[in-house]
Amino acid sequence: MSVLTPASEVILRHQDHFRSHNLLFAGDLQDNLATEIEAANVKVHTNQYHHWQSLIRQLGDNAQFGLKANSAFIAGCNTLIFYWPKSKQEARFQLRSLFSILPAGTDIFVVGENRSGVRSVDKLMEGIVTFHKIDTARRCSLFYGQLKNQVQFDQNNWWNSYQVGDVTVNTLPGVFSQDDLDIGSRLLLSTFDAPLSGNLLDLACGSGVLAAVLGKKNPELTLTLSDVNAAAITSSKATLKANKLEGKVIASNAYSAIEEKFDWIISNPPFHDGLKTNLAAADDMIRMAPNYLKPGGKLRIVANAFLPYPDLLDHTFGKHEVIAQTGKFKVYQATKN
């Protein structure tokens, strides 16, 4: 058995219940329990590309990546095991999407860390599923309910939009800076005052705001945006379209799906995976950046000042510079020789 999260350990306490069920795992999966649990059949839908990459090795076509599951994929599933994400709005989006295609009578299990807000599931799903807490351990809670009826779900009702100057930013639940431009990204954008040209990669692009702002100011830029989150991919495409910008938007775990080299790599890199601090993605972005930069190409990122990126930048590039900072954030730049 691989290393499991506390939430999965709570699920395993009910292993006997699942042996004869056709399971659908969804939500914020952080481990490979779905590949190890004993059940009649197991399928997984995830909106996290890196989790999907890990799962398909054993599950093959029974693992699906995307913003929403489709009815053909979940056909035959009679039990949903849903891992609560860190955003209540994201949980509502994902659950209502699933409840629009799962048949009435489906058993629903929702598990999550107590600090994530999982205990609000009964209120959030009122009138759709009546949930009861059936277990609590490892600072997690497990809820059970049964889907009464399928619900209507229209993705168009879930969009949020805001302006950054003359740029329209479109976001879906679960995307970083869903409601407004965050302070770190604002600082990073403020460092670009000279005209830019060549091709630019926006890693961990989120809503696509960084690439959109720079692309609108610099029409000669060729834009590529990537993220692991399906909601971010969809949001970035919508942001580019709203601003009449051309660009490639791709699902990629750091550089896993990147094939070309760039004049610029920019990012406001994540340092959480779910609720937990995880620097692995940002470390990979920095460590592998020279392989995806042209000679003279630049990596420019913004990060919380306390994160240990200076040493990694120096080890990778030989040196770096701090080109802007506040009490909380620093903008780092490193150039490929």
- pLDDT, averaged across the chain: 95
Q: Report domain extents, the chain.
A: 6-155, 159-336
pLDDT at site 309: 93
Say how many C-beta atoms besides its own lie within 10 A of residue 322's C-beta: 12
pLDDT, one tens digit per residue, over 53-108 is: 999 999 999 999 999 999 999 999 999 999 999 899 999 999 999 999 999 999 99
Distance CA 23, CA 15 (A): 12
pLDDT at site 272: 46
pTM: 0.95
β partners of residue 108? 80, 145
Band (pLDDT 50/70/90 cuts) for residue 276 is low
Distance CA 247, CA 215 (A): 9
124-151 b/e (C-beta count within 10 Å ≥ 16 → b): bbeebbebeebeeeeebbbbbbebeeeb
Distance CA 147, CA 158 (A): 22
Amino acid, res. 99: F
Say how many C-beta atoms besides its own lie within 10 A of residue 7's C-beta: 28
pLDDT at site 222: 98
Contact 34, 44 (CB under 8 A): yes
pLDDT at site 280: 82
pLDDT, one tens digit per residue, over 128-155 is: 999 999 999 999 999 999 999 999 999 9
pLDDT, one tens digit per residue, over 182-196 is: 999 999 999 999 999
280-287 and 309-317 are packed helices; what angle lies between their axes, rounded to 10 degrees?
Answer: 20
6-155 and 159-336: identical CATH topology: yes
With CA atoms as reference, report the closest residue to 27 among 54, 46, 3, 6: 46
CATH number given to 6-155: 3.40.50.150
195-224 mean pLDDT: 97
pLDDT, one tens digit per residue, over 286-332 is: 999 999 999 999 999 999 999 989 999 999 999 999 999 999 999 99
CATH number given to 159-336: 3.40.50.150
With CA atoms as reference, report the closest residue to 140 among 121, 155, 118: 118
